[in-house]
Amino acid sequence: MIEAYQRVMNVESPPAPKTPKGFFTDTSLCIGCKACEVACKQWNQLPADGYRLSGDSYDNTGRFSATTWRHVEFVEQAKANSRRDGQRWLMMSDVCKHCANAACLEACPTGSLIRTEYGTVYVQQDICNGCGFCVPACPFGVIDRAPKHGTFEPGTAHKCTLCYDRLRDDMTPACAKACPTASIQFGDVEELQARARRRLGELRTRGESRAQLYGMPENEEAREVGPLHAFFLLLDKPAVYNLPEVPRLPRKSMAQRYAWSGAVAIGAAVLSALVFGRRG
């Protein structure tokens, strides 16, 4: 039946599911060279961000955008009570997390955002109508709409594709290929998760007591958005890297927000009744 429909409608059958792919980013190995950012731009033919420095960081990229799908964050940290160690730099190459329960995908009304055969999240540009619902839905501030003037159709949504075109040719994503320290590791998600747990054990043994994993199935972050296909080993709390402690799915927090609005409305009604009742 499905095959007949596909023949009549002249559509291809969806590709068969493959072993889920993703990234394990070990931030303890990142040197902030930004080779990943450049490789991403080069492969995907995205324009440069310019070289304006903000004045409060050496990071000239600043944030994700429709044309910046990788962002290496620089966090300058003063070690408390330590004159000897002084400052330290924390660096993290951030990217779309390709969430197992992706808020952007749930918010998309046209079906432009899809789950690929590798378990990643992809924006189909020919279907995106530029409504922008996905942008506030993403709890990580990843996806963005193209500006009026630029490379892409104005308003359309863009983000990391996990190099879908390269995956189909059995190639490593451009950013992971370019990383000179193996901070960005690409592969089968389950294998990477096992590697991440081993690496955490190593770092803890060496005295990195604040080291922690972010986005693994056992982590609090996975409660609503599910395990992340791009997960991280951090050297400090997620907030230090601008990552949410518990990323929320809008549909889950809606009930709570409506309940609060309802409670406030009832409270206001009771208060006015009391005030006007007394005056009367």
Among 90, 92, 142, 200, binds ligand SF4 (CB under 6 A): 142
> Do 27 and 242 form a contact (C-beta atoms < 8 A)?
no
Residue 160: closest CA among 236, 237, 226, 102: 102
Is residue 92 near ligand SF4 by the rule CB under 6 A?
no
State phi, psi for 17 to the nearest 5 degrees: -60, 145
Cα–Cα distance for residue pair 206/257, rounded to 1 Å: 44
Cα–Cα distance for residue pair 40/178, rounded to 1 Å: 9
Q: Residue 110: how many CA atoms within 13 Å on its side-chain side?
A: 16
In the structure encoding, which two tokens stand for residue 118, read together? 């590798």
Is residue 192 near ligand SF4 by the rule CB under 6 A?
no
Torsion-angle region of 157 (φ positive above 0: left; ψ -120 to 50: alpha; else: beta): beta
Name residue 4's beta-bridge partners: none
Is residue 103 near ligand SF4 by the rule CB under 6 A?
yes
Cα–Cα distance for residue pair 21/187, rounded to 1 Å: 6
Q: How far is the CB of 56 from ligand SF4 (least distance, A)?
A: 25
Among 175, 192, 213, 243, binds ligand SF4 (CB under 6 A): 175
- CA distances to 5, 48, 50 from 68, in Å: 39, 8, 12
- CA distances to 15, 86, 133, 162 from 27, in Å: 34, 20, 31, 19
Instruction: Return the range that interacts with ligand SF4 (CB under 6 A); candidates 7-15, 154-162, 198-206, 235-243.
Output: 154-162
| Per-state percent for the chain, helix, strand, coil, to nearest 5 | 35, 20, 50
Residues 56-75 that bind ligand SF4 (CB under 6 A): 69-70
Q: How far is the CB of 53 from ligand SF4 (least distance, A)?
A: 23
Quick one: 225 or 233, whose CB is closer to ligand SF4?
225
Quick one: 20 or 173, whose CB is closer to ligand SF4?
173
Among 90, 92, 104, 213, binds ligand SF4 (CB under 6 A): 104
Q: How far is the CB of 109 from ligand SF4 (least distance, A)?
A: 15
Instruction: Return the range that interacts with ligand SF4 (CB under 6 A); candidates 2-10, 11-19, 160-168, 214-222.
Output: 160-168
Is residue 232 near ligand SF4 by the rule CB under 6 A?
no
Among 91, 92, 100, 163, binds ligand SF4 (CB under 6 A): 163
Is residue 231 near ligand SF4 by the rule CB under 6 A?
no
Is residue 222 near ligand SF4 by the rule CB under 6 A?
no
Site residues for ligand SF4 per CB under 6 A: 39-40, 43-44, 69-70, 95-99, 102-104, 121, 138, 140, 142-143, 159-163, 173-175
